[in-house]
Structure formats: structure tokens, C-alpha cells
Amino acid sequence: MTRYRKFRLHLKCKVFVLLVCISAVYLFLYRETYSRFSKTFFEYTSPLLDSSPCACQKCLSEGDPWFIGHFNKSVQPFLTSEYNIPEDAFNWWKHLQNDRSSLTDYREVVDKLFQIFPNRQYNTEPSPDKCRTCAVVGNSMNLKGSHYGALIDSHDIIIRMNGGHTQGYEADVGTRTTHHVMYPESAMDLGNTTHLVLFPFKTMDLRWLVSAFTTGSITVLKANYEFITQVMVLSPAFIKYVHEVWLDNPAHTYPSTGFMTVVLSLHMCDEVSVFGFGADSDGNWSHYWEKLKDKQFRTGLHKGPYEFKVIQQLSERQKLEMFKGL
């Protein structure tokens, strides 16, 4: 082999090695750049792709323009010492039961309330690491024989209302109660592990609560320190919001305790199950623990059929799960 051919072969080998090295360096740099780019990309986009507001399979606030048009998360459900009710909301609320109190009277009573009860900020916002489940247990006759008890007790928050109780009906309605909704006329004694949730319909209802825990003139409730820390009072402005937004502002009526509790649960939880709602076969709101005497009662002062229709809409839109019983 001539020197020239050797030289050319040696040169080709060097060029080949150089090209291999350049390719290796290029691939290495490209891989590192791509890796860094991919990492940065996914760091910034994964929160957006995984930005579910709660840890449930499906969260209430996701999608559905109809629901978003009704659900106003800026409305504070519970009274706090910092909250000042708008005058128009107070004037609307005071006419529900012909309350003659002034706004000044109302504010004085609220001030007394928070001298007795701790002022607490209630966080109703969803959290990506939590799935808060609610069972709203109505009082309908359709709960009898339903055997929903264990299912109801499996929820994080279990809300009962008015005269609803568990003793003797555990298999159908469960045993646990975390929150009990009431107003003075429907008041019942509660244990120390249950939150009393007062739905006030007049200023006198707030005075009743103050009296129950101070002068003792109303003894239907047990007053002790542990229990006092678990009193919650629904805001009159929230009642107005439910009436106007969820029920389309019907005249000469106001929302029932049951319907307001359903809407309240939408503000408190990420998954809501509703039990024991709906009229009996005669169209009456009858209770699972008693026999209805007034067969013409129907749904009282409330727009029962329309309220039930809205709850059914929420169920159809998968914003809550409705258990109809028997």
C-alpha cells in the first residue's frame, strides 16, 4: 500500500472518529436539553392538568354552566363577628315572619352572640388533598325500611334537621350526627359531639339562642363549654341567596329547612348524598318516626314540589346523589 493510500485511510479514520464524537456529544446535549425541557414543561403543566379542586373522583365546582350559574361560593353561609349584613338582605329576611326588629336590634343581638360563642372562620373552600363527603338526612317516611343506616354513617359530615333522630331507627337512618339543623320551634337536646346549626328566621330566634346559654330561661338545650364551641348560625343573607338564586324568588314563601340544608351541604362538601326527601303517596311531608295527623298538610308554607324538582336536577347533573328510599 502506497504512502498516499495509507494517508487517505488514516484521514478517513480520523474523520469517522470525529463524526462519531460529534454525534455522541450532540445526542448527549440534546438528551440533556430535552430532559430539562421535559422536566420544566411537566413541572409547570402538571398542576394545570391535575388542577382538580378536590381529591374526589368528581368535584362539585367542575363544569356545568347551570350549576355554576346557581352556585355562588362567595356567599358566606355562617355568621361571624366580622360580617355586616347588607341592609337590603336584613329587610328581606325580617319580613319572612313579620319581624318588627330594627337592624340596630339585630346587630346588638349578634354582638351578644359572639360574646358567648367563639368567633370561628369556617373554611368552605375545597382542597386538592381532601374529599369531604356529606350525608343530608331528611325526615321523609320513605326512609322506613330503607336500610341506609350504614351508608349514611360512612360519610364525613352527617346533617340531620329539626325532629330527626336515630334511636329506634338506626338500621334505616344511621347512628352518627355531626351537625343538627334546628330553629327554636323545632329545638331538641343534643350531645356534645354534635354541632348545633341554627337557622334563624327572625331576630327573636337569635335572642332565644343567647337566652338558652345564659339566663337558662329556655332549658331545652344542654349548655356546657364543650357544646358551646360547636354552635353555628346560618346567615340571613344565605337564606336570601337560596330563595332568590336557587328557587327563582317565589312570592309569599321562603325555602324549607330541608332545601336550605341541601344547598348548605353543597358549600360545605365535595360529594353530597341526600336521603329521606320527598312527599309520601298522598303528597304530604310525613316523618319516619310519626304518623301524620293532618292529611291535608302537603308541604306546608313552602314550595315543596319545586324544591324537590331542583334537588332532582342536581341529582341528574351529578352534583349530588339522591337515595329515594321506599
Encode pLDDT of 245-255 as tens digits: 999 988 778 89
Cell, residue 305? 314540589
Pick the CATH number of 65-323 from 3.30.750.210, 2.60.40.180, 3.90.1480.20, 3.40.1160.10: 3.90.1480.20
Closest CA to 192 of 214, 170, 171, 177: 177
| Distance, first Cα to last Cα, the chain | 102
Whether 22 has a pLDDT exceeding 90, the answer reads no
Of 6-10, 185-189, 250-254, 315-319, where does mean pLDDT reach its minimum? 6-10
Encode pLDDT of 198-246 as tens digits: 999 999 999 999 888 886 655 555 544 455 568 999 999 999 999 999 9
pTM greater than 0.75:
yes
Separation between Cα atoms, residue 319 and residue 278, nearest integer Å? 18
Give the pLDDT of residue 218. 56
Separation between Cα atoms, residue 287 and residue 304, nearest integer Å? 15
Of 5-19, 47-61, 102-116, 250-264, where does mean pLDDT reach its minimum? 5-19
Active site residues: 254, 302
Whether 17 has a pLDDT exceeding 80, the answer reads no
Work out the pLDDT band at 39, boundaries 50, 70, 90: very low
Give the pLDDT of residue 21. 60
Encode pLDDT of 51-108 as tens digits: 678 888 888 877 789 999 999 989 999 999 888 999 999 999 999 999 999 999 999 9
DSSP readout, 245-259?
IIS---TT----HHH
Cβ(229)–Cβ(223) under 8 Å? no
- Mean pLDDT confidence for 29-51: 47
Burial of 255 (0-12, 13-18, 19+ CB in 10 A): buried
Average pLDDT taken over every residue of the chain: 81
Of all residues in the chain, the percent with pLDDT exceeding 90 is: 50
More confident residue, 289 or 78: 78
Could you tell me the residue ranges of all domains in the chain? 1-51, 65-323
